[in-house]
Amino acid sequence: MDAADVEAVWRIESARIVAALTRFTGDFGLAEDAAQEAVAEALVSWPVEAPSSPAGWLMATARRRAIDAIRRRAALQDRYALLAAEPEAAFGVEEEADPDRIDDDILALMFVSCHPVLSPEARVALTLRVVGGLSSEQIARAFLVPVPTVQARITRAKKTIAAAGVPFELPPADQRRERLGGVLSVLYVIFTEGSTATSGDRLVRPDVAYEAIRLARTLAALQPDEPEVYGLLALCELTAARFPARTAADGSPILLEDQDRRRWDRSAIRRGLAALAKASPRGLGPYGLQAAIAAAHATAPSVEATDWDRIVVLYEVLGRVAPSPVVELNRAVAVAMASGPAQALAIVDELIASDRLPGSHLVPTVRGELLARLGRRPEARAELELAARLCTNERERSVLVRKAAALG
């Protein structure tokens, strides 16, 4: 077995192992360290001699490391005495563990990793590492930041969790929904980074987006009664369905109206629509609404045949449920498609007047498009040039530069 094999087993087992160790030691930071030590050990010993049960080996080794760590901590002596008195089986390695207990522990792990005491960046890094089983190197590659930065975020996050005394448990019922919203927004941030890379030379990074989808599926399996989890899952599936058509062979972006819709992933669309159906037992939440918009695109045979009126209405509702300048801007685009650029321009100008998206390249991008459609070429060109200057994704920027130049 080589490093890639170890990595594969770890991706499958990490959440379960860290969750069980946290339950066992009552110390999330210690559990995570012990788990990482076990992986490091596997990387050394498996290539020489592969264990017959890799999962069991990891769990047993991590558990030993955790006990070693506890032994080293005088403060936890009494707890150690308690553990030492317990039989091996208390740890659920040798005997059948209660599956519901494991599910709750993995869920608790997600809530801890996305805890509001942590910075948004730390939540993302911790979730990918402990729930997703990614290494610091992989997370650094995914977010185009240096490896030490990721390591520092994770170390700080573990300290913060310890200092705040965050308990390893499911949030109480009265906080559950709000905390779940926190988990969803972390997964959404990860997905967004994959589906519209904020920087770098690639527009779409499907591997990053995939991690978010995988975690959203896990969350849906563990929290089957939460409509917004399905809303997020539907949004991710329906958005990712368009990936195969979004970039040309040379990596340049292909806009929605120019995409070859035959290349959209039909199975992903079907999965997305199925998730969307589960997301709306009593009206849609913010993610469900965005998924419904994605569904309107995914089920339309062409841009012209898209139900733009419905999309406008969905954006209006979304603007009331979860107001944001980006939603407003998207509404403007939909209004332009449904009833022409003049009305849309009024929405965009209002956005600019209230200065709610300062420094974003999106506002001048949309404004430039609208002006071009209204035949106001010099103004349009100036807007698109401004957008190109503000845009941090190289692929997107080159499209903007080309468009501006075409306006002569």
Let me know: does 71 contact 80? Beta carbons within 8 Å: yes
Alpha carbon distances (Å) from 82 to 21, 27, 63, 65, 76: 15, 15, 15, 17, 10
CB closer to other proteins, 9 vs 366: 9
| Residue 54 engages other proteins in binding (rule: CB under 8 A) | yes
* Segment (H or E) for 407: none
- C-alpha torsion 96→102→104→106, nearest 10: 180
Residue 335's Cα: distance from chain center in Å?
A: 29
CA distance 226 to 278: 9
> How many residues of this chain bind other proteins (CB under 8 A)?
33
CB closer to other proteins, 11 vs 179: 11
- Phi, psi (deg, nearest 5) at residue 192: -60, -40
Burial of 43 (0-12, 13-18, 19+ CB in 10 A): middle
Considering only residues 70 to 129 of the shown chain, the ones binding other proteins according to CB under 8 A are 103, 106
Nearest approach, Cβ of 320 to other proteins (angstroms)?
32
In the list 263, 356, 373, 376, the residue contacting other proteins (rule: CB under 8 A) is 263
CB closer to other proteins, 80 vs 210: 210
In the list 176, 217, 356, 397, the residue contacting other proteins (rule: CB under 8 A) is 217
The 3-class secondary structure across 298-331, one letter per residue, is HCCCCCCCCCHHHHHHHHHHHHHHCCCHHHHHHH
Region near other proteins per CB under 8 A, out of 3-11, 23-31, 43-51, 68-76: 3-11
Site string for other proteins, 225-254 (x = CB under 8 A): -------------------x----x-----
Considering only residues 186 to 215 of the shown chain, the ones binding other proteins according to CB under 8 A are 206-208, 210-211, 213-215
Token pair recorded at residue 400? 């903007």
Nearest approach, Cβ of 6 to other proteins (angstroms)?
9
CA distance 14 to 31: 11
CB closer to other proteins, 26 vs 244: 244
CB closer to other proteins, 7 vs 316: 7
Residues near other proteins, by CB under 8 A: 4-5, 7-9, 11-12, 54, 103, 106, 134, 138-139, 141-142, 206-208, 210-211, 213-218, 221-222, 244, 249, 263, 267, 271
